Structure 1
Amino acid sequence: MNIKEKIGDKVKIIRLEKDITIEYLANISDVDRNYISDIEKGKRNVSIEILEKIVVALNSNLSIFFNDEKFK
């Protein structure tokens, strides 16, 4: 699994745990829903600025996001 897929999986896992749709996440993060979908599928190189918007919208932070066995 490459880093894009790992990040996408983590975003999707957190989003689903919070029972949030991609559409709702797009609205609260101000990131296009198609872009979020592509991130979750591991198709996008996501910038740190966009990732921060998404992670904050998911009521998390980057240090918690990357503090996962998946990234070690």
Structure 2
Amino acid sequence: MDARQIMGWNLRLLRVERGLSQERLAFEARIDRAYVGRVERGMENVTISTIEALARALEVPVAALFSQPDRNASQPKPLRPGRKPKGSK
């Protein structure tokens, strides 16, 4: 996995864990929603400023976006459209 794929993996994992839609994360980070989707798919070469904005919106350190996923981990699942995970407010 290259750095873009690792970051995309972690971005989706953290976003879903927090019950945030791509649209909400984009709003909080002040970036375009479609861009968030491309980052999650590892298709964008993200600037440091955008990485910082995403980490701030997720309330995690920047390093959390670059932690190597376990080799046996399955791809993070997206949120179901229009639904928040149980226990989210």
The TM-score, its normalising length taken from structure 2, stands at: 0.72
Flag the structure with higher helix content. 1
What is the one-letter code of the residue matched to 1:10?
N
Identity percentage over the alignment? 28
Q: Which AA in structure 2 matches 1:63? A: A
Flag structure 1 segments of 5+ consecutive residues without an equivalent.
Answer: none
Instruction: Please list every run of at least 4 consecutive aligned residues from structure 1 whose deviation after the TM superposition is greater than 4 angstroms.
Output: none
Deviation per CA, 1:21-50, whole angstroms, max 9, x where unpaired?
000001111011111110000000001110
Distance in 2 (alpha carbons) for counterparts of 1:48 and 1:11? 14
Give the number of aligned pairs.
69
Alignment partner, residue 10 of structure 1: 10
Higher relative contact order (CA 8 A, sep 6+): 2
- Determine the C-alpha separation between the residues in 2 that align with 1:64 and 1:34: 22
Question: Is contact 2:10-2:64 (8 Å) kept?
Answer: no
Cα distance in 2 for partners of 1:62, 1:52 equals: 6
Deviation at 1:62, TM superposition (A): 1.1
| Structure 2 CA distance for aligned equivalents of residues 14 and 8 of structure 1 | 10
Structure 2 alignment gaps of length 5 or more: 70-89
Does residue 53 in structure 1 map to residue 50 in structure 2? no
